[in-house]
Structure 1
Amino acid sequence: MRIVVTGKSGQVTSALQALDAGGIEVIAIGRRELDLLQPSTVRETIAKIKPDVVVSSPAYTAVDNAESEEAAAFAINRDGARAIAATAAELSLPIIHLSTDYVFDGVKPESYVESDPVGPVSVYGRSKLEGEYAVAAANENHVILRTAWVYSTFGHNFVKTMLRLAETREELSVVSDQLGCPTSANDIAEAVVKIADRLAKDSSPDLRGVFHLAGSGETNWAEFARHILSIFEEKTGRRVTVRDIAAADYPTAAKRPANSRLCCDKLKRLYGVSMPEWQVSTRDTVTKLLEEPKEAI
């Protein structure tokens, strides 16, 4: 099976390319190969590759910057997503589109299910939600995967930030009143391959639509940090403490949902895909990062 992924630099794209999955060829294309604002280049590039499934991964992910760069966020997260989905539809290909927990307002006391009302509280969240709508309208043969709190050995993410700060600080202040599900990009990549394989073979309408894909279990940012730093201490002998603070004490340009927990039962029921416990995948990522040269963190 051949999978084309649009967006070369993202964590999930990097994880997909690093997968050692027999019979799976992953081809990543980026700005050099296609211009998301020029649909003709999108179609031409994807058509040449002749994939079985398209994965739409590029995103404007600078959550705070999006508040002052709204046009850029919507151009990529909505219009770019629409162009990719429309191209896949023209080529009669299924599309897997990656979205986010930020489409919710975070006020629900329980984990969010796919049918819950959406209500993003940031420009980034609104642009990603509009991207979901655009993909669904452009290509009925779609799977939209909402994920959350993504980390990996690639790019910039919370795990790498905590490890970098731990090198020089004795204490870190971390928000403790935002809940979510830390999710490994490696686990997302493995799930995407399983979903892609099923999509390419099974035309059942039940397998299309919106699904939640996040690490099993839940936590808050401060506890997430403690787990990361406990592994750091175990491996290096250096102890760093975490001080809980409220989100109000750490002001950011964009508002974050207080509750980002995603219920993934639908994906497990229809695809048989379940994610590992977040603590297990975090340990794997932290261990790999600590074994790499310092500049990797």
Structure 2
Amino acid sequence: GGGFGLFARILEDAKNAVWAVPAPKGGSRAFCDRMNSWAQGEGQPGLGYIFWSEDQGAWGGPIAKNLGAEKTDAVMGQLGLGQGDAAFFVAGDPKVFYKFAGSARTKVGTDLGLVDENRFEFVWIVDFPMFEMNEETNHVDFSHNPFSMPQGELEALETKDPLDILAYQYDIVCNGYELCSGAVRNHRPDVMLKAFDIAGYGPSVVEEQFGGMLNAFRHGAPPHGGLAPGIDRIVMLLAGQTAIREVIAFPLNQQGQDLLMNAPSDVTDKQLKELHIRTAPPIKV
């Protein structure tokens, strides 16, 4: 209901939203301009903002000007912000911009010193969706791991909207880095066949591609689950690094080469012949 036409037009599409990234003590035009330039460097058109203008003694910026003082006060009050603060705004389809919004939040927290660099904060990420809508095909598809057990098992697959079904999948995250990822595995052939059927894969396809797994299940595979820790990421955090290549033994460069081991190296004709492989160098135009 505000007077900011750009956001109003974006919100005409029901799937769209406007997200705010609060920036306590970030209320200066200089900081907002730096954030806007950073966003453009990330491939975005920019980053809308409202900031506390000491010169005006009020909220400033194009969004505030279009919303008016009363509605701007309401927005910033809802965010718990006041004098000396700012807020940045991302608009559009959240499925498209959520990663950028997360990066913006991290950038704000880091640049304003809001992040305690001397703490390890852990969080469990749970209740991953089992299925999602593939926007290219407009059909339901697996969202993450097709071999996870859906919550509710066969009953959920038969009675619930596929997009409402959750999976027994979980991650452990520390300071924004995924340290462990795991799941309770699907160990029932009937559940697996139904899950793949929802995603558009008939029984014959599943039997052909995953017949060995299904046969193992039919012989009585027990319920099982677990998680796999990323030891190198744990070491990275303990070492105070932000790039994993700083703590692994044989880091690859940007061309995917291991310079210490001189890999990958040229393959011999004999090796190609043993594997019945021939190379097809790109044609130079």
TM interval, short-chain normalised:
under 0.3
Q: Radius of gyration: which is bigger?
A: 2
**TM-score by structure 1 length?**
0.25
Query: What is the TM-score with the length of structure 2 in the denominator?
Result: 0.26
Q: Which has the higher helix share?
A: 1
